[in-house]
Every structure is written in structure tokens, then in C-alpha cells.
Chain A
């Protein structure tokens, strides 16, 4: 309980946020990093790549090389069917879980 609450919450959900982003479209590292840093889900791109490596090891994400619109060939990441199914499972659980937590920590209506 002594660790920063925000850090603990982020740790639990940030991988699913990556899956959620990749469910919309395949993305390259910087694209993902920019969005996650802007949302303060990660502090820097240094956290992203170990996470991508973990997700790929688990078979949830895969990567491929493709020339981007601006020219250079980039490594893109996309969801695997297993990743999509994992994300769906998380979606089903997240809402009731958040609602349950709120019943305990939410302020009483005044």
C-alpha cells in the first residue's frame, strides 16, 4: 500500500491498453509510445518495448516490417487472435470490476 497508487493501477492495466490500441489498428513503437506517454500510462518508451516483448512471448501480439507512409520501413505490431480474445475477456471483466471497486471506494452522495 506504500507504493504510489497510480503506479500500481497502471501496472495492472497498461498491457491491456496496448492490446486495446492494437485492436484498432497495427502500430509501430513510437506511435504506441506517444499515445501511452500522453495518457500517462507509461513514463517513457523504455517501458514499452519490454512490454511488447512480453506480449509477443505470450502470443498476444505479433510484429511485421512495413514501409510507412513517410518512407522508412518500420516494425509494426498487431494483435493475434489470442490477443483479441484476451482483450475481450478483459473488457467483460473490467466494467463490473470497476463498478464493484466503486461501491467500496466511491463517496456517498451528499
Chain B
């Protein structure tokens, strides 16, 4: 192709290449080169006639895509080495992580589940979304309970109930003691959910 190439030829080749994005790269390159050779050197009239013979570029591209669909890739020729099977991912890390989240609080409070959550973050057994939810679930539950507790306490200290509360001081929703129980309730549930989800997927995200 040079500056004297007719516009109709340029347009056709541009259209052809754009239509062939779904065709295997090696076939696409060879076909575009072959058609370019065929149009090279033709004046506008001759090129128009040849283009009419070649046909609609989108049709050519669709035919090429359909004809290469079932072909093995060039690198997958019978002589090429068969792809090595991927080694199964180790299950030790995710299982340890899930178990630490479930029972860690009862063994070493705070540190136990924290180590479990950190191990979970490095494991391939869970998606990024699952990891974020696992980290945020205890915090979200804590926040919700603390807010609910504060609201209940504020209501109990209103003038109408103050006199009664003077006798039996209110502790909201069981007081702040309830929040301390969260690691013992929420984290085991989070751990069990993580364990079940990962085991169903053979410990792969």
C-alpha cells in the first residue's frame, strides 16, 4: 500500500480488519495480507470490481471465524507438549484459616480469629468479595448493636421513664456486655460460612 492506493481499497481493508477481530490472529494476518496483495496495484475501477468479487467484509470475517472455531490453536499442534495439569491448591491454609475464625476466639481471644482472618486474606479459596464481607461482618454487627444499644439507653433516660429507671437502672439491649459476646457469636458463624462455601468449591475461589 502506498499513497496512490485508491480510497476504496483503503476503506475495504480497514473494514475487513475491523470485522475480523474475532478471527484467530494467525489466520487473520494471512488473510488480510492475501487480500491486500490482491488489491495492491489496482486502480480504483479495478479495485472496485475485485472488491465486488471478494464480497462483504463482515460476511468474509464471519465465515473465517466459523471455520476456525473448531481448529486447535497453532501452539496446540499434536507435536506440541501437552499442557501440564495445574497442581491442586493446598487446602491446609484455608482450612486452618476457617477453623481459627470458628474456634480461635475460644482458644486465644482476639488474636486467634485475627490470625484466621489474616490467613483467609492470603488464601485463594475465597473471592475478594467474600474476604471483605468476612472482615466487615463482625465490625458491622458491632456497629449495629452499639447504635441500637445507645438508642435504647437514650430512650430509657427520657423524663417519662427516669423515675422508674432510678430504681432499676436500664442496660439498653443487655448493656455493652452484649458487644463483648460478638466474637463468640458472629465470628464462628462467619467461619462456618467460609468453610462451607470453600469446601463446596473444592477450596478454590
Contact = CB atoms under 8 A, between A and B. Distances in A.
Nearest to B69: A50
B27 A50 contact: yes
Contacts of B61: 46
A70 interface: yes
B71 A50 contact: yes
> Which secondary structure dominates chain B's binding surface?
helix
A49 B41 contact: no
Interface string B2-24: 00000000000000000000001
B71 A54 contact: yes
A46 B38 contact: no
B38 A29 contact: yes
A47 B64 contact: yes
Give the contact-size bracket for chain A. 20 to 34
A30 interface: yes
22 contacts: A28-B34, A29-B35, A29-B37, A43-B59, A44-B54, A44-B55, A45-B35, A45-B54, A45-B60, A46-B60, A46-B61, A46-B63, A47-B63, A49-B27, A49-B31, A49-B34, A50-B24, A50-B68, A53-B26, A53-B27, A70-B41, A75-B34
A57 interface: yes
Contacts of A71: 41
A52 interface: yes
Contact of A74 (B37, B55, B67): B37
A49 B65 CA distance: 11
Contacts of B53: 34
Interface in A45-81: 45-47, 49-54, 57, 70-75
> What 5 A-B pairs have minimum CB-CB distances, sorted nearest first?
A46-B63, A46-B60, A29-B34, A50-B67, A49-B31
A57 B59 CA distance: 25
Interface in B58-103: 59-64, 67-68, 71, 74, 77
